[in-house]
Amino acid sequence: MSNDQPPPGQPPEEDPFLKRPQEPPPPSAGQPPPPPGGGQPPPGGPPPGSPYGPSGGDPYGPSGGDPYGPSGGDPYGSSGGDPYGGGMPPPPPYGGYGGGYGGTDPLSGMPPLAESGRRILARLIDWLIIAIPLAVIGIPFDIYARATDNDNDFGDTVNSLNGGSQLVFQLITIVAYVTYDTVMTARNGQTIGKKLMKLRVAMLNDGSTPPMSQSLLRAVVLWLPALICCACLWPLLILILILVDKPYKQGLHDKAAKTVVVSVPQ
């Protein structure tokens, strides 16, 4: 074994775990040389221009090594850990249109529900707007001949209704009512009758105008059974349900589309 010892201050060359001291980079112009002693500030405080500043070697300043400042390690400051400055954040504005179908009351912040009488008048206006032009269109289809002909028995009437011209007119009627109600409701929630009565259709969950899909579903449930088989019973059933339904005054068509009818603010 050799008795030669490495000079003091230098690690043995065979030790791979100790870092070799790096040569300090030459000072650039305008910068003071690094302090002696391996980067530690000299006794008695650093000289002017020292990279450690006036805090005596503390890179964090006078807070005693606390990176968060004088608040005792609290990243939120002196408010006791409260990021909102010592108080609860303000609640969200309570208004708009409800809180979700089946959640909190969807009518919170909505205009008042429409009166049943105004809804009935609006529906009668809409029915007349479509029925009068259809009455004129039906003349070439001979839809009035069977109504005034007393010589035909019930079987002939059924066969006539299943005939070509009557079937075409029935399809025209269905398309007219469903299209009218769908397009007008999807546009701004108002048919002509509802606009005159200052009403509108709104989605129950947020009060928005029903999209085309919901408007179509609403119109189909409203008109299709009445135009195919239940001309008197179906409108009466919808009317009764609107009058007795609590709390949203929904007819079957409203329940299917998840809509309500509300008053338009004056």
- Across the strands, what pairs with 201? 261
- Percent of the chain exceeding pLDDT 70 equals 52
Question: Residue 199: enclosing H or E segment and its boundaries?
Answer: strand 199-203
Amino acid, res. 81: G
| Helix spans in 138-246 (H) | 145-148, 154-161, 164-188, 192-196, 212-228, 233-244
Q: Which long-range contacts (CB under 8 A, 24 or more apart) does 246-251 make?
A: 247/107, 248/106, 248/107, 248/113, 248/204, 249/113, 249/114, 249/116, 251/222
Q: Is the model's pLDDT at 262 over the cut of 80? A: yes
Q: Are 236 and 226 in contact (CB under 8 A)?
A: no
Alpha carbon distance 227, 234 (integer Å): 9
User: How far, in whole angstroms, is CA 102 from its chain's centroid?
Assistant: 15
Model confidence pLDDT, tens digit, residues 65-87: 455 555 444 544 444 444 445 45
DSSP secondary structure, 204-215, as one string: TTT-PPP-HHHH
User: Residue 43 corresponds to which tokens in the numbers above?
Assistant: 């006794």
Q: Is the model's pLDDT at 105 over the cut of 80? A: no
Alpha carbon distance 132, 113 (integer Å): 30
Angle, CA 72 vertex, CA 68 and CA 73 arms, to 5°: 45
Is the sign of the CA dihedral 234, 239, 243, 249 positive or negative? positive
Q: Is the pTM of this model over 0.85?
A: no
Q: What is the mean pLDDT of the segment spanning 94-102? A: 41
DSSP secondary structure, 219-238, as one string: HHHHHHHHHHT-TTHHHHHH
- For 152-189, b where at least 16 C-beta lie within 10 A, e where not — what string? eeeeeeeebeeeeebeebbeebbebbbebbbebbbeeb
Q: Is the model's pLDDT at 13 over the cut of 80? A: no
Alpha carbon distance 12, 2 (integer Å): 13
Better-predicted residue by pLDDT, 94 or 90: 90
